[in-house]
Amino acid sequence: MKKIIAFAGSNSKQSINKQLVEYTTSFLTDFSINLLDLNDFDLPIYSIDLEKKQGIPENAHKFLNLIRNSDGIVLSLAEHNGSYTTAFKNLFDWMSRIESKTFFGKPMLLMATSPGGRGGASVLEAAVNRFPFHNADIVAKFSLPMFGDNFKDCKIANLELNNVLQEAVKALKNSL
């Protein structure tokens, strides 16, 4: 069975992006899903001085190995001030010091959601522009605006948006 790692770019215990990721993986029933939480990969803030002194922390190696050993990635990025959350960027920075081709060409469904009307469009754009330099294979992207209105009872309530997500999931399945 093919292995998918799924996670949110957030360290919030109530992360709306994690909720979206969980919902998305419910359509990937023929796959082995490993739902990850950034809180389980605690890392110090990246510093070149710390790296020189202590090397790269084990948790960065662990997460990178999970990507390396997966067949595909489902990731939903939370947006803080138009960009990645500190927690995600920090993990990304540490991992990129081990391997600049951080995503190993694994097919990726890249998403974002936020309570606002842009649905994390800025962080999604930042990632779409940057991740390919790290060997990401973004096969589909999806943004869910106004999470509070559009996501109810653990699912996307808006039919049109739900259909867009289904197409994105299909694209991921087809590339695995």
Ligand X SMILES: Cc1cc2nc3c(=O)[nH]c(=O)nc-3n(C[C@H](O)[C@H](O)[C@H](O)COP(=O)(O)O)c2cc1C
DSSP label at 44?
P
Range in contact with ligand X (rule: CB under 6 A) among 8-16, 31-39, 44-52, 131-139? 8-16
Distances (CA, A) of 135 to 31, 41, 49: 23, 22, 27
In the list 5, 73, 78, 136, the residue contacting ligand X (rule: CB under 6 A) is 78
Residue 138 bridge partners (DSSP) = 108
Please, which residue, 107 or 120, has the CB nearer to ligand X?
120
Q: Does 135 bind ligand X (CB under 6 A)?
A: no
Q: Does 44 bind ligand X (CB under 6 A)?
A: no
In the list 4, 36, 64, 79, the residue contacting ligand X (rule: CB under 6 A) is 79
In the list 120, 161, 165, 172, the residue contacting ligand X (rule: CB under 6 A) is 120
Q: Does 55 bind ligand X (CB under 6 A)?
A: no
Question: What is d(CA 23, CA 111) in angstroms, rounded to the nearest whole number?
Answer: 12
Q: Which residues, other chains included, contact 133 with Cβ-Cβ below 8 Å and sequence gap of 6+?
A: none
Q: Which residues, other chains included, contact 109 with Cβ-Cβ below 8 Å and sequence gap of 6+?
A: 24, 72, 73, 74, 75, 139, 140, 141, 142, 168, 169, 171, 172
In the list 25, 33, 80, 91, the residue contacting ligand X (rule: CB under 6 A) is 80
Binding stretches for ligand X (CB under 6 A): 8, 10, 12, 15-17, 78-82, 114-116, 118, 120
